[in-house]
Amino acid sequence: MTRDYLAEYDAASEAEQFPLVKQWMATEPLTFFAQLRRERPVLVTPECTLLSRFTDIRDALQMPRIFTVALYRSKMGVTDDDPGFMMAHDDNPLHERERAIMLGFLNRDDVPRIRELVAQAARDRLQAGAGSMEMIRHYSRIVPTVLVRDYFGLDGVATDKLLDWSYWNQYNTFHNQPFNLHAPEKSQYIAEQQDRCVQEMQRYIKALLVRKLISVNTRERLIRTPLAAFNRLRRGLGFAPIRLRDDIVQRMLLTCFAENVDFPLERLGANIGGLLVGTVETTSQAVAQTVRFFLEQPDLLAQARQAAASPDPEHFDAMVWEALRFVPISPFLFRQLSQEYTIARGTDRQTTIPKGTNVLMLTQSAMFDDYCHLNPEQFIPQRNWYHHFNFGFASHDCIGKHIGRVMIPEMVRQVMRLDGLRATSAMDYQDGPFPETYHLQWTP
């Protein structure tokens, strides 16, 4: 018989109610969410309101001015004089402009090159492990930093710094909110770490821009004109043009925007920071949790290893995305209401929520709602990608999703190819939000 979470919730004191919800979301989300969807799809707790049905979540995420990202603002540098990072803005010119520009730079045609880069970096790390590895420090966090350095172009800095900056920015923004219920000293410590990282990161990005501006201009002057002439000749002979290898920072510096586009150098710097922060811990957590998910289920592990051996990654990728429905990097996205709003008007779950309420949209629950998936409790790869929420949804959905969509499965695939693969420790989160250690062994 499954547990009656709502009976326990109703019997608890007001002070105990949200801590119980938090614990169930972390330890037994699927059965808890199933009961919510069935019996109380809009759960109003003393701390925040939870939405668990697919349609309510999709609806709310499509109204960014009502369900806002106000909780990101102070964490993403928004002040009276500084707009901070574009992600902390809702449905306004700055968000729309910078999102569109960044999507252009992250040219989706690069995806095959990204998969190759990631596969090579992953193989190098595993080879260096020679049969055993603590995979968080030495693999799931490190491989994305290779992408950050070689594809995004954040080079000339120690890897440990990239890790530190990404870690504390992610921690303070996404895991240091009122509903995380940290003690005030812990909350302040996390915020101070982020402040330190932001200052270091800003200094580094300024120096990076100066250095790359000089090298990009020199390269342009010396190579572009002769190369253009050579490429005309190649095209005339029916050959593909030669393109210079570049990185995203170089691309940004080479691109001139008319003044009225309003994308000056300082906005470019803000967005470069976002590339790093968005990439490392998210990828690391997704890769680590997927590897553990397969290792803990022998039948699935056998299927995953068989799919990983195929030269065509399509089926393996689909297995990873199906696994991430069960073990997403977060079971929810959070928003704050800018005005009173009535959820699901005209239904028996109609609920009016006051302005200022923090709302947890249980995106993991949405991915198990039979509104969108047949037999959602079963592991069935190749489900409808458009009903997947690991990269968010609607106006704030992840600008790196086409990169993550190959990087994460490719990193898991290289691990699954190791002979005799097994875990020799439990995954340890060390009381924080991210996997910190997980030991693997295999036959070298």
Binding site for ligand HEM (CB under 6 A): 69, 87, 99, 274-275, 278-279, 282-283, 286, 329, 333, 390-392, 396-400, 403-404, 408
Choice between 35 and 286, CB closer to ligand HEM: 286
CA angle 177, 181, 184 (to 5 degrees): 85
- Helix, strand, coil share (%) of the chain residues, nearest 5: 60, 5, 30
Strands 132-134 and 67-68: unpaired
Q: Which of 243, 221, 223, 222 is nearest to 234 (CA)?
A: 243
Q: How far is the CB of 404 from ligand HEM (least distance, A)?
A: 3
**Residue with structure tokens 């790390």?**
125
Q: How far is the CB of 84 from ligand HEM (least distance, A)?
A: 12
Q: Contact at 8 Å (CB) between 373 and 383? A: yes
Q: How far is the CB of 406 from ligand HEM (least distance, A)?
A: 10
Choice between 5 and 171, CB closer to ligand HEM: 171
Query: What number of other Cβ atoms are within 10 A of residue 86's Cβ?
Result: 22
Choice between 106 and 418, CB closer to ligand HEM: 106
Q: How far is the CB of 435 from ligand HEM (least distance, A)?
A: 13
Alpha carbons 87 and 103: distance in angstroms, whole number: 13
Choice between 17 and 414, CB closer to ligand HEM: 414
Q: How far is the CB of 208 from ligand HEM (least distance, A)?
A: 16
Choice between 35 and 102, CB closer to ligand HEM: 102
Q: How far is the CB of 359 from ligand HEM (least distance, A)?
A: 12
Residue showing the smallest CB distance to ligand HEM in the complex? 400
Q: How far is the CB of 222 from ligand HEM (least distance, A)?
A: 31
Q: How far is the CB of 257 from ligand HEM (least distance, A)?
A: 19
Choice between 190 and 286, CB closer to ligand HEM: 286
Output the CA torsion 375→381→386→387 (10° steps): 30
Choice between 190 and 280, CB closer to ligand HEM: 280
Choice between 90 and 369, CB closer to ligand HEM: 90
Using alpha carbons, list the distances in angstroms from residue 43 to 51, 175, 360: 7, 21, 10
Q: How far is the CB of 107 from ligand HEM (least distance, A)?
A: 13
> Would you put residue 344 in left (φ > 0), alpha (ψ -120 to 50) or beta?
left
Structure tokens that stand for 419 in this block: 């002979």
Q: How far is the CB of 299 from ligand HEM (least distance, A)?
A: 25
Alpha carbons 424 and 161: distance in angstroms, whole number: 29
Choice between 69 and 366, CB closer to ligand HEM: 69
> Would you put residue 134 in left (φ > 0), alpha (ψ -120 to 50) or beta?
beta
Q: What is the 3-state secondary structure (H, E, C) of 58-93?
A: HHHHCCCCCEECHHHHHHHCCCCCCCCCHHHCCCCH
Choice between 372 and 398, CB closer to ligand HEM: 398
DSSP 212-264: HHHHHHHHIIIIIHHHHHHHHHHHHTTPPPP-----HHHHHHH----GGG---
Using alpha carbons, list the distances in angstroms from residue 78 to 7, 66, 72, 84, 382: 42, 19, 9, 4, 40
